[in-house]
Amino acid sequence: MLQITQLNKSYENHRALSEVDLLVPRGVIFGLLGPNGAGKTTLIRIVNQIIEQDSGSVELDGKILSPDDVRKIGYLPEERGLYKKMKVWDQLIYFSRLKGLSESDAKLEIKHWLEKLDIATWRDKKIEDLSKGMAQKVQFISTIVHRPSLLILDEPFSGFDPVNAEIIKNEILELKTNGTTVILSTHRMESVELLCDQVAMINKSRKILDGTIREVKRSFRPEVFRVGIASPIQELPREWVPKFTGDAWEFTLPLSGKAPNQLLAELMEYGEVVMFREQIPSMEEIFIHQVKASSNE
Amino acid sequence: MNKILLVIQREYLARVKKKSFLIATILTPLIFPAIMGIFVWIAVQEKDGQSLRIIEVVDDTGLFFMESSEQYAFTSSDIDPEAAKKMVQDGERYGFLHIPKLDLQNPTGIQFYGVENPSLTLMGYLESALKRKIEDQKLYDQGIDPKVLKEIRTDVSIKSITLGEQGEEKINNANVNYAIGFLSGILIYIFIFVYGNQIMQGVIEEKSTRIVEILVSSLKPFQLMMGKIVGIGAVGLTQFLIWVVLIGTLSTLVMGVLGFQMPQQQAMEMANPEFAQATPDSSELADILAVINGIDFVALVLSFVMYFLGGYLLYGSLFAAIGSAVDAPSDAQQFMFPITIPLIVAYMGLFVFVLQDPTSTTSFWLSIIPLTSPIAMMGRISYGVPFWELALSMGLLVLGFLFTTWLAGKIYRIGILMHGTKPTYKILWKWIKASQ
């Protein structure tokens, strides 16, 4: 779907992207992660052809990106805005026509979306008369009204109240099942775990990891197990720092090179093992760990 | 191309649909006549409402007799100056003119006393009356009969006629040409500022609300900038054309009304010679009408539109560049300077050089250099400008706006995406040099 190869971009006094490779397959939700200033926005702007790369290539459906491709891309920038004095309807028509929709198609699509998101009665209101959540819905419609095959959302949930965020989340999932590829740039790791199939992480202009969520989590498991032993038959070593939870003594143990079964066998010597669970890191932990690690290099 | 049209359409409709546009468009042509009407009305009221002002004249020489006018009556007496001053202070007299014994070769020491500052008109009236009396006296001393003097005095006004290439004669009137040059020059000046500012505000709005990021993901920054400039320019043009139609209709109406009144007035003049004397301007009025009829308004309007567009495009793109470089209108001030200076130079030049002497070297250069030509040339056009000068001036103007548009495009495409940094001229220069 979207293939980025050896992308470089420098600004006057700093490097924004160095040799970034990315492959975003069709129909997935792809999380683009990274701290502020990592180069995410630059990457997104290059894909949107707002700025040009210094070197490297961006291919969409196997072809180098061309100006006609703006029709295929929908973009919701992190900082968003609409013309305050313009009516909802006129505004949506304007944005969709700029994307290349014909006037009749635009009217049809906008009508459909206004009804779907329950704001059809507001079509003749000016944006300045709308609540923030309502304006966000209009903004979202303007991003997807031309049925893009690639949707780029930069922090899509910021500014939404929980109810509207849920509505938008469901719309994104529905778009995905219809075959739309979604690139989601965000800091919010909980939405990454909830929505994304794949992720790539960028820090200091470089891609520091990518893969499916499962792969990433597996490769970052710290090989540590959470153990619970009920009524131990011999005293547990002090250094394990066991704590009694009411049902069992619980503590955390590293594998230390052993196989999990071997560790389990050793533990059974101490009593009845009621819990033996590998500690899987959250995306948030991986994110923080990776950013710290790559920053210290 | 299609996308530029969409932007033009949006920018145009967003402004033309506003109520404020309609109000400004309809009211502005009425403002000038209204202001003039108010002045005339006030002047008439003042004249009617004023009581006759009496001025005490104490003439130690015995040579002067001051003729009373509608507003001022002069009473000559030989009372003591101190007594006369007292009369002024008590309000019995408006003023007191004291003419001491003086040497006619070098008349000094004439004084006027009043409770309030005398108006310039009164002082001028007194001075010219005294001057005339002294001159008469001198001529009389040289042995010239006052009766002969009266016969010698003549009022002259020259009717200026220009010869066209085919020998056709056209009555000219410097005042009318001055007024047309003055009005059209100022109009272009105001248009450039008003609509240039609208471009700047529009760009800042799109930048600060971040709409621009969405827009430039759909079309090129240059297309967006040009669409905005052309769209707003079309608004200005629409406004101007509405004015032309409005003023045209109004003046046709006024001319018609005047035309009906003319025979009546003449009849009155014939019946009442005094009235005719009171309005010696009536023949001048007819001349002015003839001159106005003689002006080629189509050419005037056409060249106005050309210079408006040229000047607007030249400065408009610079306004767009400034808007793109700053985050808020208040930051724009520092960059307004280089735009404002040539405009003000053109504006001042219009009054100081062009309207005074349309063919002088300074006037020539002001109307050729693209930065000042839109305003300066308008001051010359009603006087008649050789074709080659017009062609050169317009050609350079086109080159000028192509250059500023190119320059502005370079600043614009980088500026609109920059936030939080306060740009300096140095930074702008870097943007211009940057390839992307």
Q: What is the pLDDT of residues A66-123, one digit of tens each?
A: 888 888 999 998 887 889 889 999 999 999 999 989 999 999 999 999 999 888 899 8
> Between chains, do A49 and B219 touch, taking CB under 8 Å as contact?
no
Contact B381, B359 (CB under 8 A): no
> Between chains, do A98 and B3 touch, taking CB under 8 Å as contact?
yes
> Between chains, do B14 and A99 touch, taking CB under 8 Å as contact?
no
Residue B137: the pLDDT is 81
Report how far Cα A224 is from the mean position of its chain's Cα atoms: 27
Contacting residues of B for A36, CB less than 8 Å apart: none
Residue B270: the pLDDT is 47
Q: State whether residue A274 is helix, strand or coil.
A: strand
Question: Options 3.40.190.10, 3.90.76.10, 3.40.50.300, 3.40.30.10; which CATH number does B52-151 get?
Answer: 3.40.190.10
Which residues pair with residue A235 across a beta bridge?
none
Best mutation target among A68, A69, A98 (most B Cβ atoms within 10 Å) is: A98
Residue with tokens 């992480």: A201
Residue B293: the pLDDT is 67
| Phi, psi (degrees; rounded to nearest 5) at A18 | -125, 120
Q: What is the domain partition of chain B in residue ranges? A: 52-151, 171-433
Nearest CA in chain B to A70: B218
Q: A89 at the B interface (CB within 8 A)?
A: no
Nearest CA in chain A to B417: A50
Confidence check: pLDDT of B363 > 70: yes
> Between chains, do B14 and A86 touch, taking CB under 8 Å as contact?
yes
Q: State whether residue A212 is helix, strand or coil.
A: strand
Best mutation target among B19, B218, B432 (most A Cβ atoms within 10 Å) is: B218
Q: A70 at the B interface (CB within 8 A)?
A: yes
Contacting residues of A for B10, CB less than 8 Å apart: 94
Mean pLDDT score of chain B, rounded to an integer? 81
Residue B324: the pLDDT is 92
DSSP-assigned letter for residue A131: -
Region for residue A89 given its phi and psi (left: phi exceeds 0; alpha: psi -120 to 50; beta: otherwise): alpha
Q: Which helix (H) or strand (E) holds B240?
A: helix B221-271
Beta strands in A97-141 (DSSP E): none
Contacting residues of B for A49, CB less than 8 Å apart: 217
Kindly provide the ipTM of the predicted complex, given to two decimals: 0.81
| Exposed e or buried b per residue across B345-356, where buried means at least 16 C-beta atoms within 10 angstroms of its C-beta | bbbebbeebbbe
> Between chains, do B214 and A77 touch, taking CB under 8 Å as contact?
yes
- What sign has the CA pseudo-torsion A60, A141, A96, B212? negative
Best mutation target among A43, A50, A151, A153 (most B Cβ atoms within 10 Å) is: A50
Contacting residues of B for A70, CB less than 8 Å apart: 217-219
Mean pLDDT score of chain A, rounded to an integer? 88
User: For residue range A243-291, what is the model confidence (pLDDT) as tens digits?
Assistant: 888 888 899 888 888 888 998 988 888 888 999 998 888 888 888 888 8
